[in-house]
Amino acid sequence: MLTIELEKKSVAYRKKILYYIKKANAGHTGGSLSCIDILNVLYNNVLNVNPENINSPDRDRYVQSKGHSVEALYVVLADKGFFPVSDLETLCQYKSHYVGHPTRKVNGIEQNTGGLGHGLAISAGMAMSAKMDNKDYRVFTLLGDGELAEGSNWEAAMLISHYKLDNLTAIIDRNTLQITDRTSNVLSNEPLAEKFAAFGWAVKEVDGHDFAVLSTILNKGAFEKGKPNLVIANTTKGKGISYMEDVLKWHHGVPSDEQYELALKELAEKELLLEIK
């Protein structure tokens, strides 16, 4: 998919994320907006997965370790036809399958996540299985930067490089904020690239909102043969809505009616700009 089409899709996705969070009166707004461009590129330009092959043993796998940004995942999966987008009207409602974190009750979701620090080890098992069976599917997982304080990530990081799982790509949505404060104040994870490199990973650092760069890098295959791949995607929490960008309270803030209208207005302006581009 061309970059301009991806850009348009991201505006549409952002509208839907806000609509459903507003409707549910709940959701992880800031993180969904920071990772939506990454999910857009993954599902529209990278992953070999669709409603027809979702049960195929050869499909690519995506595990969302930062499960709280589920609204972004729901919106993209609906767009890809895994379920009708209207299902999301029930988000977080009594008896809905659309829970506030990913579950396999929803078509297209590989694993139940939400507790942080789980996605990397699960992905390791999937990637190792591919190596055992000489399958060429790839495994992607998205982590938050705050999530890296969980020690289980580092257990998995060691294991993945030990077994040379170069069919696995971890993407860090490095929006530099977590629920309490800036990640550097809560528990610094820097120097991030050097840490993963020291753990035996091939590391690339990119702009997590640059569709062309993300498309190129995520389609590249192994950055270095025999090494797992880490993409540090520098993102902005709340990206795309001016008053939410890089503002802590939007971690799981729900916009008021007035704020919602303002957000829609900004997205409409962005849409217009893209039309004439």
Partner 1 sequence: MEQGIPNLVAFAETMEALAAKDKNILAVTSDSRGSGKLVNFGKLYPKQIVEVGIAEQNLVGMSAGLASTGKKVFAVSPSCFLTARSLEQIKNDVCYSDNPVNLIGISAGVSYGALGSTHHSLHDIAVLRAINNIHIIVPADNFETREAIQLAAQVDKPVFIRFGKRPMYHLHNSNTKFELGKGITLKNGNDLAFIATGETVYHAYKASEQLEKEGIKCTVVSMHSIKPFDEQLLLEVADRCQSMITVEEHCINGGLGELCASILMQYGKKLAFKIVGIPDEYTVTGSQVDIFNHYGISEEGLYKVGKTLVEENISV
Residues lying near partner 1 in the complex (CB under 8 A) = 57, 103-104, 110-115, 117-118, 120-130, 132-133, 151-152, 155-156, 158-159, 162
When the beta carbons of 36 and 130 are compared against partner 1, the nearer one is 130
**Closest CB 104 distance from partner 1, rounded Å:** 6
**Closest CB 111 distance from partner 1, rounded Å:** 5
When the beta carbons of 102 and 208 are compared against partner 1, the nearer one is 102
Which residues is 173 bridged to in the sheet? 144, 233
**Closest CB 106 distance from partner 1, rounded Å:** 12
**Closest CB 125 distance from partner 1, rounded Å:** 2
When the beta carbons of 130 and 148 are compared against partner 1, the nearer one is 130
**Closest CB 134 distance from partner 1, rounded Å:** 12
When the beta carbons of 118 and 209 are compared against partner 1, the nearer one is 118
**Closest CB 139 distance from partner 1, rounded Å:** 8
When the beta carbons of 96 and 103 are compared against partner 1, the nearer one is 103
When the beta carbons of 67 and 146 are compared against partner 1, the nearer one is 67
